[in-house]
Structure 1
Amino acid sequence: MRVLELLEEIEEIVDTAAGFPLTGKIMVDSQELLEIVREIRAELPDEIQQAQWIKNERERIIAEAKTQYEAVIDDAQKQADALVENNDITVRAKMRADELMQVTESTAKQLKIGTYDYLDSILYSFQGKMEHLSSIYFGEMFTSIEKAFDDINSALAANREELKDMSYRTQINAEEMPEPSSALGPEQAPREEE
């Protein structure tokens, strides 16, 4: 900076000037000193403008940094909100999955019971046909064959009883089984005994 150099020049003039004894006063060339002061005045507007520019630039940089800081904070808040929303979606999806698992298990039990009923009706129909065939074709003269049909009939009746028992146990298990908690996952839900 030119102004600093000129001020140093004034200091040097004062330091090297001849002094009056006992007065503390010095003798300087007034023209030389005035010339330096004029140069300082000429340089000062540029120095002041440069200092003002530096000040304005500093304020601009601070304002820009503040804007960027606020943008980063705003972006971080949006990301945090998105994470919270995604977590809420995950919780709702898990609850929906638990509900679907419960419905699926109930439907599977109903299908199993329906299958038992269907098999029972087929066995009942077959049992009726066997009795009909027995009465038409195998009267009293074929006692041994009739006994075989009776044995088959007994086996069919036993099978029906066994199916009815299995169907009854399935219904009892379905009624006694506690509702799965929405906090339990599919792997933690109690399994049905087969």
Structure 2
Amino acid sequence: MKDVLELLEEIEEILETSAPVVLTTKVWVQPEEILDIIKDIRLQLPDEIQQARWIKDERQRILERTDAECQEKLADAKRQAEVLIENSDIVVQSKRRAAELMAVTEENCRQLKLRTYEYVDSILYNMQQKVDELNGVHFTDMFNKIETTFQDVGATLNANRAEIKELSYKTQMGRDEDM
């Protein structure tokens, strides 16, 4: 069986080869011959139309599927971008929080050092007070006694030297007899 295009070509050939009507642009054709071809075209058209409809529907289905896939990929890309942005926000927030924690920790360390210095200073101050107290109670008396002893020893030595000088003087003067 011929397809629709072949049948249309057959009609064209009939019209081209038919005898013209004098003084007009019309041609003489056998109506039965043209009607048979039109009948064949009508019989062929449902198959052709169905095939065209199927192709059109298939094309539409492919376009819709492609569009759905595109929309899905766009949505997926958007979700991934949101995740990246969210992760980026998380990173930024984490860095900010870490910086805050570091600042608080550094301040706590500084305060702890200051309290430690104050504590050590108070211990050293108390120790200094005790040393001064011990010095005042024990060493001052002891130094006073040592000083008195040295003064006594010095005085005795001076007296002994003076006596020796006197003896030496008398010896030089020839007065040994007093000895």
Q: State the secondary structure of the residue aligned to 1:18.
A: coil
- Corresponding residue of 1:123: 124
Deviation of residue 136 (structure 1)?
4.3
Higher relative contact order (CA 8 A, sep 6+): 1
Deviation of residue 121 (structure 1)?
3.7
- Give unpaired runs (5+ residues) of structure 1: 144-194
Bigger radius of gyration among the two: 2
Distance 1:4-1:136 versus aligned 2 partners, 3 A rule: same
Distance 1:24-1:128 versus aligned 2 partners, 3 A rule: closer
- Give unpaired runs (5+ residues) of structure 2: 148-179
Q: Percent identity?
A: 49
Residue 12 (structure 1) aligned with residue 13 (structure 2): yes
Tell me which amino acid in the other structure corresponds to 2:40. E
Alignment of 1:65-104 (within 5 A): 65-104=66-105
Please state which structure has a larger fraction of its residues in helix: 2
1:161-187 superposed Cα distances (whole Å, 9 cap, x missing partner) = xxxxxxxxxxxxxxxxxxxxxxxxxxx
TM-score (norm 2): 0.62
- RMSD of aligned residue pairs (Cα, Å): 3.0
Deviation of residue 31 (structure 1)?
4.6
Deviation of residue 6 (structure 1)?
1.1
TM-score (norm 1): 0.58
Q: How many residues get paired?
A: 143
Alignment of 1:29-40 (within 5 A): 29-40=30-41
Tell me which amino acid in the other structure corresponds to 1:5. E
Tell me which amino acid in the other structure corresponds to 1:103. V
Residue 43 (structure 1) aligned with residue 44 (structure 2): yes
Q: State the secondary structure of the residue aligned to 1:115.
A: helix
- Corresponding residue of 2:156: none
Distance 1:137-1:16 versus aligned 2 partners, 3 A rule: same
